[in-house]
Amino acid sequence: MATNQQTGNQRANPAAEHRLLNEELGFQSSQGARCTRVLAKFEFFWNGQAASIPGSMLAQQQFAGIKVVGIVATMNLPQGLDAQCGWFGMDRIDWFWATIERIQEVRVCEDQIFRGGARFVLLRSEFADYILLFPHKEHEHLWQSTLVTLSAPVCEMLLPQGARPSWWPQKWDSLWLGMEETVSTHPAPSNLSEDQTLAEEAELILTRLDHLEPWALEPDSGVQPAARTHKWESVRRAPHKPGGTTGAPIAKRIQR
pLDDT in tens, the chain (256 residues): 435 455 689 999 999 999 999 999 876 555 567 899 999 999 999 999 999 999 999 999 999 999 999 999 999 999 999 999 999 988 899 999 999 999 999 999 999 999 999 999 999 999 999 999 999 999 999 999 999 999 999 999 998 888 999 999 999 999 998 876 555 555 444 433 434 444 444 444 333 333 333 333 344 444 444 333 333 333 333 333 334 333 333 233 333 3
Q: Are 41 and 199 in contact (CB under 8 A)?
A: yes
User: Which 3 state secondary structure label does DSSP give 254?
Assistant: strand
- Would the pTM count as exceeding 0.75? no
What is the per-residue pLDDT for 90? 84
CB atoms closer than 10 angstroms to residue 64: 9
Measured CA distances, 31 to 28, 34, 65, 166, 221 (Å): 8, 9, 30, 34, 10
What is the per-residue pLDDT for 181? 59
Alpha-carbon gap, residue 118 to 132, rounded angstroms: 12
